[in-house]
Structure 1
Amino acid sequence: MTASSARATAELLDALFRRYHVEAFTGGLNPAQWAALRFFARDLTDSKTAVSLARFQGVSRASANDTVRALVRKGLLARMVSAEDGRRQEVSVTEQGMAALEGDPLALLCNPIGGLPEEVRRDFAGVVSQLLAAMPAPSRGNR
């Protein structure tokens, strides 16, 4: 791939992400709040804490705590003391939060991706995974 085609592809991705990002401010939530709500709704999440959210998203603990606090205030998440460790607060999605996820703006990307042939989806997922792995970790100092 030449530098110009790499740049053109990056610009296409940027346009896609910008279009999604604009639309992701919906339902009274911002994109970071939607991402956090999705994170805590996953059955696969072992540790449902603000710290685990921070690690997953590559953000500071303070930023993750702010997001969790906002979602708790909105009634979409609930905090409870861990049964295993009384010092830790675990987070769960409320019924209201699950209902909000039915309007998740991620469908704006899921629907067109779902319409692609399976082989294309698989290849695309592989490419995106490679891109994520090749990118440097987010720099917390620039926030």
Structure 2
Amino acid sequence: MGNTKALDLAKLLEATARAVYDVRGPQHMHPGQWSVLRFLAGATENLRDVNGVAAHLGVTQGPASRAIATLEMKGFAVGVVQENDRRKRRIHLTQAGQDLLKEDPILRLKNAIEGLDSEAQNTLAAAMAEIYKDLNK
């Protein structure tokens, strides 16, 4: 069946990614919504729109619009119509959205990585970069 060690590692990586988001359910933030929230917090003004979110997520405008609408409905983001082009909206985090980022589940993963020694962090970084590159060929 091939390299079982590689398959076991792939399963562990998938389980690790799922474990980052330990709280799930219809009332909770989904991983994609967290990703949009993080993106909006760090993106430049000209990228904080549906097109920027879509490009960040690697999806079309439909799913990006739905993710933004959900964040707006939950009170974590607000869209502001642009005066120079009323068809465009810039998306901004609300104070609640900024506050929520302090509870970002990805911080659990960051803390776990920081717990590794420097050599292990460097090895992990190199391996993950190679895996990411291979998956995005």
Gaps of 5+ in 2: none
- TM-score (structure 1 length as normaliser): 0.80
Matched, 1:116 2:116: yes
* Matched residue, 2:34: 34
> Structure 2 CA distance, aligned partners of 1:108 and 1:51?
29
* Matched residue, 1:93: 93
> Structure 2 CA distance, aligned partners of 1:70 and 1:47?
19
Gaps of 5+ in 1: 138-143
- TM-score (structure 2 length as normaliser): 0.83
Matched, 1:25 2:27: no
Query: Deviations 1:66-95 (Å, cap 9, x if unpaired)?
Result: 010010111111111235644321111111
* Matched residue, 1:130: 130
> Structure 2 CA distance, aligned partners of 1:55 and 1:63?
11
* Matched residue, 2:64: 64
> Structure 1 CA distance, aligned partners of 2:64 and 2:34?
12
Structure 1 position 53, deviation (Å): 1.2
- Larger deviation, residues 44-53 vs 87-96: 44-53
* Matched residue, 1:55: 55
* Matched residue, 1:140: none
> Structure 2 CA distance, aligned partners of 1:46 and 1:130?
31
CA contact (8 A) 1:79 1:89 kept: yes
- Larger deviation, residues 9-18 vs 79-88: 79-88
CA contact (8 A) 1:72 1:78 kept: yes
> Structure 1 CA distance, aligned partners of 2:14 and 2:135?
15
> Structure 2 CA distance, aligned partners of 1:6 and 1:49?
39
